[in-house]
Chain A
Amino acid sequence: MNTLPFVDSATIESELQRLWQETAETSASGEAVTRALTLNLIARATDPAMAERISAVARDLVASHPNRTLLAICRPEETPPRIEAWVQANCLLSAPGVPQVCGEQISIDARGPVTAQIASLILALLAPDLPVVLWLPGPAPFDDPLLPRLLGVIDRLIIDSRDLTDPARDLKRMAVFDRDPGTPVGASRRVALSDLGWAALTPWRELTAQFFDTRPLLPHLRRLDQVEIGYVPAGERLNPVPGLLITGWLAACLDWTPLEDAVSIEGATLRLHLRRPAVGVGPRAIRLVTIIITPVGGATPGLASLRLRALDGVTADFHVQRTDDQGHVLTSAEVAGHPPVRRLTRCVEPSLAELVAAELRLLSRDAMFSAALQRAAIFAARLSYLEEPAGR
């Protein structure tokens, strides 16, 4: 890995070519090295620690999505102004006799005002005719100056709602972007939005959906009265976004609609009231679902428990809860007239690389995510109204 003396796209490209030639000649195992690219991944870091985390993910991604990673380390506040770049191959350790598969990474470290030039350098370095994904980790992805510059070429924007500092504001911005990314006129495609926070909810959605693959239990899904969501906050910050997204998902699947002003905050607990279609009591009857989102203790941030209950009439209680920090969850279904069914299964919190890989697997927009996000943004907007100080 050499830092290049002069940074322009042609120098970087020739350095890459030299790298591959050397790799082919000096392959340690004597086996062929296969350079494979299935996409361009542009990732922006704001400091060296974040850059290292991204590089680690890029290395892991070679297994499932060999790619050209363009890592942009943007530090506009730092001096002296300078721009550096280096290239490296990201290879998968392979067994003897098996060709080694490698992706490649171009890292560009820009400080001071030249940071503004980084987008143009990236545009010149994209591997042609492959999908382009932009990953903006951190709390304010929509304020990043790279986003408008690259919007015309990217297919997907990846952010992480778990990093958001102002969920009410940022969920709304996510929803706006998802509805209309503002892709320039003439761009060939509409940018899809991916949220690693949503991807982390997939196992929870899966476990919840499983209860209702059982035909006799399916009708209870339409008569839920209460949803209790417990989450472990990351650090000091309360971020109910996973709970809001799960609520948005349930609301989208089950036609629940928010009631005006039916939101309350008690300490750290949120309560939302939604209207659900009535079952068996006439079409005009109002039925309410109460959603309770509460932070709980625990070592692993993320969802800790999700409980769906029907309390009126035949009681039904469907519960998924973490039992330890080793990735085990207990699921239980207790429905009047049925024997209780419990099972312990595995639900390890996915790593960052696994979450990114899951998003890269998608080739189109995730319509369910959009539906859940749009609803979550409405709930979040109600919360922000409550949070505003009195008298304003």
Chain B
Amino acid sequence: MSDGVATSLENPLRAGLRLWRTPEPCIMVIFGASGDLTSRKLVPALYNLARERRLPGGFSVVGFARRDWDDAAFRQILLEAVNANSRTRPVEQALWASFAEGIFYHRASFDDPAGYARLAERLAAIDAARDTGGNRVFYLATPPEAYPEIIARLGDHGLNRSPGDGWTRIIIEKPFGRDLESARDLNRQVLAVFDERQVYRIDHYLGKETVQNLLVFRFANGIFEPIWNRRYVDHVQITVAESLGVEDRGGYYDRAGALRDMIQNHLTQLLTLTAMEPPVAYDADAVRDEKVKVLRAIRPIAPAEAERFTVRGQYGPGSVSGRLMRGYREERGVAPDSQTETYVALKLFVENWRWAGVPFYLRSGKALPRRVSEIAIQFRSVPTLLFADTPVNEIEPNVLAIRIQPDEGITLKFSSKVPGQAQIRPVTMDFRYGTSFGVASPEAYERLLLDCMLGDSTLFTRRDEVEASWALLTPILEGWAAGPPQNFPNYEAGAWGPAAADAFIARDGRAWRRL
């Protein structure tokens, strides 16, 4: 069974409540094993899964990279990485020793065919020694330029199909392309070697509990869906704010910018989950069908309209949380006259029966005052002010805010009378994951790695989804490129973006939420 579909053979001991399904033993081959993602996210996530009994015995990791390391050196480096980055620390020695028995290092360069031939032999040997049954996950954690080479070589060496009746899947990190054409190209290259059902395009935002809860919140509660439409909703604001600058990713970021780095993936995901219709089932294709329909319903923005529907910014020197921060153009790897946006705000319309006329404002930026991500549904105001004698000019509209980070939860703002006074005040009803459910939320990568091993692609991006999102944003990139250079930098590090962004939303008689 090489198509990546989960097995239908039932384990009778799994019947009933409480027990999680664990994946079959498999080997995860990480390309780019010496990189940051491997040590910061992937291996800590795998260690925690092993620690919490979510991985089967025999599970193995093969790191594929160029550095001159061996198994022992790689294990030691990963041990230090897990000790530094795991949500459970320090590492328990006995557990690590057992987990590390399944960690191997494969030294080769991505473009060396002999390296893949040796990899195939190595995987067969691990299958034989650790009973992993030919099941493989290839994880592309490399710079995106290396994807085509790796994918083609995997195909050349027959590594796209498993021996015996095992399965093979591939996880591809973002960015998936840098515009519509390159995304289509990459899809063509991937699908020349793998079937779509084997392909898991990862966006770690979908692994976050609150993001998944968005669907539960909408479709498991009877009271929200009737008001989740143009009749009751005034507008929607989706914010993903980062307080950090570009750090050591200047070289990559200067070629990407906020639209490619954040909007195309994370914010688009949040938008589609907020706006989608109820899927016919909670399964990979039904959910993704609805998300794609949202993307197709969004009114396209032509290149000539790009400036009207978007605002760009780039941070200059300033201070964030009391710490001085360099301007973007002073960062390593960034051109001194860079025109790359580190902030972007845009207004989109989902033109379907549910949402026609309701603007969706999206904003994301770096070097903003704090790290916060949320979706805010602002409802229409009451039609008239009944309480004219109260010392207020207007009653604040109800807002339902779904916070994704840092503290995940849901808040509903409504008006209430102040006891003993003729005053009306907004108050909030708060639901917090951290306090309502005592268990710590697993890291997004833990959930997604496990889903992939279990063969569930619901929380991964499908081919048409990624292309629809690029189809929407590529004309904006073209419009920006055709226009005059921007007067960057136009906001201070530590400010909520450029003044133009405030004017942009104020033109519609609205304001950004203060976060």
Contact = CB atoms under 8 A, between A and B. Distances in A.
A208 interface: yes
A168 B407 CA distance: 49
Main secondary structure of the interface of B (DSSP, over half): loop
Interface string B29-61: 000000000000000000000111100111000
B183 to A, nearest CB: 35
Contact of A216 (B50, B92, B133, B434): B133
A266 B221 CA distance: 57
Interface string A256-271: 0000000000000000
Interface stretch (B11-19, B107-115, B324-332, B394-402): B11-19
A216, A253, A339, A345 pick with most chain B CB within 10 angstroms: A345
B447 interface: no
Contact of A213 (B16, B22, B92, B434): B22
What is the predominant secondary structure among interface residues of chain A facing chain B? mixed
Interface stretch (B204-212, B258-266, B350-358, B435-443): B435-443
7 contacts: A206-B19, A209-B13, A212-B12, A328-B95, A341-B57, A341-B130, A366-B16
Given A63-B438, A253-B13, A339-B131, A203 B18 contact: no
A366 B22 CA distance: 21
B12 A214 contact: no
Interface in A3-34: 34
A120 interface: no
Contacts of A357: 438
A38 B407 CA distance: 21
A328 B94 contact: yes
Contacts of A358: 18
A332 B98 CA distance: 12
Interface string A65-81: 11000000000000000
Given A210-B22, A341-B58, A253 B12 contact: yes
B249 interface: no
Contact of A366 (B12, B17, B57, B92): B17
Nearest to B20: A206
Contacts of A369: 16
B7 interface: yes
B435 A214 contact: no
B25 interface: yes
Given A209-B13, A346-B51, A346-B53, 10 more contacts: A66-B435, A98-B407, A210-B22, A210-B57, A213-B23, A216-B131, A218-B9, A331-B57, A343-B50, A345-B98
B23 to A, nearest CB: 7
Nearest to B96: A344
A57 interface: no
B128 interface: yes
Categorize the interface residue count of chain B. Answer: 35 or more
Interface of B: 7, 9, 11-25, 50-53, 56-58, 92, 94-95, 97-99, 128-131, 133, 165, 407, 430, 432, 434-439
A368 B16 contact: yes
A333 B58 CA distance: 10
B19 A214 contact: no
A345 B11 contact: no
Size range of the interface on A? 35 or more
B53 A203 contact: yes
A66 B436 CA distance: 7
Contacts of B56: 210, 213-214
Contact of B24 (A215, A331, A366): A215
A256 B15 CA distance: 15
A213 B11 contact: yes
A119 B157 CA distance: 74
A121 interface: no
A92 interface: yes
B13 A344 contact: no
A360 B128 CA distance: 44
Nearest to A209: B13
A371 B11 CA distance: 17
A207 interface: yes
A212 B52 contact: no
A341 B435 CA distance: 39
A254 interface: yes
Contacts of B9: 215, 218
Contacts of A99: 430
Nearest to B97: A344
Contacts of B21: 213
Nearest to B14: A209
A19 B14 CA distance: 47
CB-CB nearest 5 A-B residue pairs: A368-B16, A64-B438, A63-B438, A344-B98, A209-B13
A221 B15 CA distance: 14
